[in-house]
Amino acid sequence: MMFSEHLLELRTKAGLTQQETAKGSKMSLRAYQNYEWGLREPKMTALIALADFYDISLDELACRTWPKKPEA
């Protein structure tokens, strides 16, 4: 799953608007929209703000599982 798709999924599952999510993660609406639409990749500060807002780890936010499973 792409990062932008995951952001959309998190937001819709929480029943939030883009405006509410942007405000809750202390970023502009346009910045959040750019991340959700896949137009820009967020900087670390924005990733941390989004993870804190959703109360999840950075790994969860990035759809990353740990430990990595060995490749076959």
pLDDT at 23: 98
SS (H, E, C) 6-47: HHHHHHHHCCCCHHHHHHHCCCCHHHHHHHHCCCCCCCHHHH
Residue pair 7/50 in contact (Cβ under 8 Å)? The answer is yes
Residue 3 has what pLDDT?
A: 93
pLDDT value, residue 63: 86
State the Cα–Cα distance between residues 4 and 70, nearest whole angstrom.
26
Tell me the CA end-to-end span of the chain in Å, nearest whole number. Answer: 21
pLDDT of residue 64: 82
pLDDT along the chain (72 residues), means of 10: 94 98 98 97 97 96 76 64
pTM for the complete prediction? Answer: 0.86
